DNA sequence: TAGATTGTTAATCGATTAACAATC
DNA sequence: TAGATTGTTAATCGATTAACAATC
């Protein structure tokens, strides 16, 4: 069907920045749909998010042709296309390691389900927590990680343990066979290339904000 | 002291990517210090974080000269310099709006204090929560926001409310006089240019991971 | 001194924007 | 049809890397 050099597996590498904008497009499109918009345009999407229209079109062009010249994009169609690109057109069972404050907050976070993520199990080492349920999610002992990961087909792991334990937990997740890790611990961890890693450090986000405030006269 | 075109306020705009790497350098330096390293080098820092040595030196060069040719960087000195650049050499009183799962997790998050952030007050609209304390932090009614922000010199606000309420809360924060907002709600909010905004969407982080996993054969 | 490492300039690489023919 | 908007190419802009004189 599609011409060009296309060959499915030999697609050019996509910059991270493009992928994260894709998520933003998806979020805006879902809002537009909630507000009964049937179609949108690169200009509208760009205006909503502070990007140029050219950038919106270019980003989408990495993955194919989704629009209609003279018309724009059908919102629901583009949502479907982006979810397919991101891999969220199916459900991802997730395991969370660490049932402290942050872990429990993530267990209760409603935003995940809506985007195709489903927290299947939690893990901890503290006896008082193991066997309990939080937000309807059962807490297992970390020593059962491999067994449960397999049984529940868990593909992604979220690390929500203190920094010093993070690398050990990461290793256990890799051994258990997960394919991707989201790390909330404030440390750099290293994984084999075959396992994907995304890190989120909440303190770093505040540092970015602090910098922006201190330098606001200069940079905005 | 410093020559060059330098004039303090006319510094070239610093790319966001540079600022976020600065936070990573800071984190690694703190680990090095914890492990009794007195000095480090651009090569070592780069290796720890997966950057080139040239990038480390170039990033720091935006802000001044912090190293010693032939020797490298004194860790504690560079930590001090980066904290000053990021504005975390002083304490930032923070207000958190929304005391649901995520808000409470942030209230209890130990990583903030260590980096110069201090959660001073929490706000909600739910009667059962107002007046309570979580993790030693008092919850006020949102209608007291302006008063408390002034009294406690709160400069940064964290939005941890559901999406539909986020823009309203943002407006209240701006009216109350905060200078920066960290938004955890999964919506795009808009603020006057005079108020800085950083957004963190947890579902988006998982989408990035999902994309990376689905495309791992191609891009890693 | 010789070896190491910085700060900085120039070269390379990649990402964003502008422009426009093709299309509805 | 005229107006709108796409997908895509070429031009611009910015960020990363390589190289090296200066320095300890």
Interatomic distance A70 CA / D1 C1' (Å): 14
* Block residue for tokens 């942050």: A102
Of B46, B105, B102, B103, whose CA–CA distance to B73 is shortest?
B46
SS3 of B113, please? helix
Which nucleotide has its C1' atom closest to residue B52's CA? Answer: D17
| pTM over 0.85, yes/no | yes
Q: What does the block give as tokens for B87?
A: 């504005």
Q: Which protein residue's Cα is closest to nucleotide C3 at C1'?
A: B70
pLDDT tens-digit readout, A47-96: 999 999 999 999 999 999 999 999 999 999 999 999 999 999 999 999 99
Nucleotides of D under 7 A from a protein CB: 3-9, 14-19, 21-24
Please report which confidence band the pLDDT of residue A216 belongs to, taking 50, 70 and 90 as the band edges: confident
Asked if residue B123 lies in contact with residue B140, where contact means CB atoms within 8 angstroms, the answer is yes
Q: Alpha-carbon distance A117 to A95, whole Å?
A: 10
Asked if B26's CB is within 8 angstroms of A87's CB, the reply is no
Q: Give pLDDT, residue A165.
A: 97
SS3 of B64, please? coil
Task: Write down all domains in chain A, each with its CATH number in brackets.
Answer: 16-86 (1.10.10.10), 92-205 (3.40.50.720)
SS3 of A1, please? coil
What are the contacts of B41-46 at 24+ separation with CB within 8 A? B41/B72, B41/B73, B42/B67, B42/B72, B42/B73, B44/B72, B45/B73
pLDDT tens-digit readout, B76-125: 999 999 999 999 999 999 999 999 999 999 999 888 988 999 999 999 99
Asked if residue A23 lies in contact with residue B207, where contact means CB atoms within 8 angstroms, the answer is yes
Asked if residue A110 lies in contact with residue A80, where contact means CB atoms within 8 angstroms, the answer is no
Of B150, B156, B79, whose CA–CA distance to B117 is shortest?
B156
> B194: exposed, middle or buried (C-beta count within 10 Å: 0-12, 13-18, 19+)?
exposed
**Whether residue B6 has pLDDT greater than 80:** no
Helices A75-86 & A16-34 angle (0-180, nearest 10):
140
Asked if residue B156 lies in contact with residue B92, where contact means CB atoms within 8 angstroms, the answer is yes
Residues, CB < 7 Å to strand C = A 15, 17-18, 51-52, 54-55, 57-58, 68-71; B 4, 41-43, 53-54, 57-58, 60-61, 65-73
């Amino acid at each position: 069907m599609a011409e060009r050099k296309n060959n499915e597996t030999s697609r050019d590498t996509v910059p991270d920045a493009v992928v994260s904008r894709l998520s933003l497009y998806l979020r805006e499109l879902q809002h537009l749909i909630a507000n009964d918009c049937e179609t949108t345009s690169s200009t509208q999407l760009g205006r909503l998010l502070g990007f140029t229209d050219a950038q919106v079109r270019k980003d989408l062009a990495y993955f194919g042709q989704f629009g209609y010249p003279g018309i724009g994009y059908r919102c629901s169609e583009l949502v479907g296309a982006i979810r397919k690109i991101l891999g969220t057109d199916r459900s991802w069972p997730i395991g969370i390691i660490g049932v402290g404050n942050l872990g429990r907050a993530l267990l209760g976070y409603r935003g995940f389900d809506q985007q195709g993520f489903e927290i299947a199990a939690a893990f901890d080492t503290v006896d008082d927590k193991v066997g309990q349920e939080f937000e309807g999610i059962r807490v297992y002992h970390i020593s059962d990680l491999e067994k449960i990961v397999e049984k529940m087909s868990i593909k992604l792991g979220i690390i929500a343990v203190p920094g010093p334990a993070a690398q050990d937990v990461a290793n256990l997740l890799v051994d258990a066979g997960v394919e991707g890790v989201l790390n909330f611990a404030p440390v750099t961890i290293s994984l084999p290339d075959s396992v994907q890693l995304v890190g989120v450090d909440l303190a770093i986000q505040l540092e970015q904000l602090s910098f922006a405030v201190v330098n606001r006269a200069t940079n905005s």
